[in-house]
């Protein structure tokens, strides 16, 4: 077999192949534009503004870069091999090989070491930190999902008129329920659902967490700085699932205290002008 790059001749692509190639390139360009152009979008996981979200972005990168290097090496080797060792006219049947023990042991051990060394070891401490219970001095908030809205309860804020913990006012689907938090402080969230499964997702702060009826799932999050962060339910829960929106409003401690005082006194809080103490179960929400 005389196989050199110089005698490598590609078949002329037929017009259908050419069209398919062009279409694929346009598709890749469009998808890439969506990824690159989107760093300013309100729910971009790759633009974290809180400690949990930053951990999650770093984990993603940690897994992605080694995977990308391996993919380029493997795919590159496949493409070179396909082009260089294609069957040509008058080629005899090549020597047949069945198994190669040293190679097979090698390509089992090397990827295992890569996974353990580049991905496993650096990831484990981060995963444990993400999965830990909130710290004892974290600010507690209870989050409840129901079809089709989120509500938030603040055990540390007493509603002046009911004497009960303050609850966020009900919202209609398509309007964001507002979750107020102090910025720079760890928040201890307890998450549940009172009907079907929902998922609490605020990607720039803390990814997503499942809200499951009968379970009270505890997790933590922390906003780097004051700001407003958008989120929504990420578990298809019914016809108005699209409208289960969340806005996390992170405030400086003074602003948060001022808000808490007003909210506790029943000052109107939402664009709909409802007072927090008017909270009542709004039924099934359909």
Under rule CB under 5 A, residue 143 binds Cu ion: no
By beta-carbon proximity to Cu ion, the closer residue of 107 and 242 is 242
Reduce the DSSP state of residue 142 to 3 states and report it: strand
Q: For the stretch 156-172, what's the b/e string if a residue is b when 16 or more beta carbons lie within 10 angstroms of its beta carbon?
A: ebebeeeeebbbbbbbe
By beta-carbon proximity to Cu ion, the closer residue of 142 and 240 is 240
Under rule CB under 5 A, residue 173 binds Cu ion: no
What does the DSSP assignment read for 87-99?
--TTPPPPPP---
3-state DSSP: the chain helix, strand, coil percent, rounded to 5? Answer: 40, 20, 40
Cα separation of 245 and 171, whole Å?
9
Under rule CB under 5 A, residue 237 binds Cu ion: yes
Under rule CB under 5 A, residue 53 binds Cu ion: no
> Minimum distance from CB of 286 to Cu ion (Å)?
13
Choose the stretch contacting Cu ion; rule: CB under 5 A; options: 6-14, 131-139, 200-208, 240-248: 240-248
Under rule CB under 5 A, residue 244 binds Cu ion: yes
> Minimum distance from CB of 171 to Cu ion (Å)?
14
Single out the residue of 241, 255, 266, 282 in contact with Cu ion (rule: CB under 5 A): 241
By beta-carbon proximity to Cu ion, the closer residue of 187 and 233 is 233
Q: Which of residues 175-234 bind Cu ion (CB under 5 A)?
A: 198, 233
Cis peptide bond N-terminal to 45, omega within 30? no
Measure the CA dihedral 122/124/125/131, to 10°: 140
* Residues of this chain that bind Cu ion (CB under 5 A): 198, 233, 237, 241, 244
């Amino acid at each position: 077999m005389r196989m050199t790059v110089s005698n490598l001749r590609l078949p002329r692509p037929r017009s259908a192949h050419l069209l398919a190639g062009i279409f694929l390139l346009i598709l890749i360009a469009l998808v890439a534009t969506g990824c690159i152009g989107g760093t300013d979008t309100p729910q971009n996981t790759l633009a974290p503004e809180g400690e949990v979200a930053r951990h999650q972005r770093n984990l993603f990168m940690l897994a992605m870069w080694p995977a990308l290097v391996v993919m380029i090496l493997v795919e590159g080797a496949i493409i070179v091999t396909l082009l260089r060792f294609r069957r040509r006219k008058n080629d005899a049947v090549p020597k047949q090989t069945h198994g190669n023990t040293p190679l097979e042991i090698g390509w089992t051990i090397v990827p295992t070491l890569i996974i353990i060394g580049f991905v496993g070891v650096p990831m484990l401490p981060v995963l444990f930190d993400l999965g830990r219970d909130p710290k004892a001095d974290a600010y507690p908030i209870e989050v409840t999902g129901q079809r089709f809205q989120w509500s938030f309860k603040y055990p540390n804020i007493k509603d002046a008129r009911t004497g009960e913990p303050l609850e966020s006012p009900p919202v209609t689907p398509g309007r964001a329920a507002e979750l107020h938090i102090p910025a720079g402080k760890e928040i201890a969230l307890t998450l549940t659902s009172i009907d079907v499964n929902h998922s609490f997702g605020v990607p720039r702060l803390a990814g997503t967490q499942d809200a499951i009826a009968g379970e009270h799932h505890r997790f933590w999050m922390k906003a780097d700085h004051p700001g407003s962060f958008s989120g929504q339910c990420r578990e298809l829960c019914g016809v108005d699932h699209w409208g289960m929106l969340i806005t996390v409003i992170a405030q400086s401690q003074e602003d948060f205290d001022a808000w808490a005082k007003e909210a506790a006194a029943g000052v109107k809080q939402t664009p709909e002008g409802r007072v927090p103490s008017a909270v009542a179960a709004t039924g099934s929400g359909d």
